[in-house]
Amino acid sequence: MGNIVATLCRSCGFKNEFRVGGGRFSHLTSCPVPAINKETLEFENVNHYKHKDSGQYLFYSDDDLKGDNYNDKRFSNFDLYFNEEGNYCPSCRAKKLAFRITMYVD
Ligand SMILES: [Zn+2]
């Protein structure tokens, strides 16, 4: 079970979309999560299974990319937790990026 999540930066207006969690037939091999590429500092939607130990990415489930989650809402995919508010913005680098689930996908 996966989700499509829309982002919006409350500081600079940056927005995009990403997917969290694999589908019904791919969840054992595919676990897409939002991440920051440490080399390019770009936002990427990467497979957590493949990259979790590579050291190449910071994941939005890590505390490093989390700031003040003022509405205290979270969502999760298995043991990965994401905050709805206060996430690192790849554009202005403030921790002002909001995450909202817009769709549930199989
Ligand atoms: Zn921003």
Sign of CA dihedral 26, 80, 97, 99: positive
CA of 8 to the centre of ligand 1 (A): 8
- Ligand 1 centre distance from Cα of residue 10 (Å): 7
Distance 30 CA to ligand 1 centre (A): 28
End-to-end CA distance of the chain: 5
- For residue 105, what pLDDT band results from cuts at 50, 70 and 90? confident
- The first and second tokens of residue 93, run together, are 């680098």
Predicted pLDDT of residue 104: 87
Would the pLDDT of 1 be above 90? no
Q: What is the pLDDT of residues 45-64, one digit of tens each?
A: 999 999 999 999 999 999 99
Q: Ligand 1: distance of its center to the CA of 59 in Å? A: 17
d(CA 26, CA 17): 20
Task: State whether residue 30 is helix, strand or coil.
Answer: coil
The DSSP output letter for 14 is -
Q: What whole-number percentage of the chain has pLDDT above 90?
A: 83
Cα angle value 80/31/15 (rounded, 5°): 80
Greater confidence (1 vs 88) lies with 88
Q: Where are the domains of the chain?
A: 2-105
Mean pLDDT of 90-98: 98
Give me ligand 1 centre to Cα 102, in Å: 20
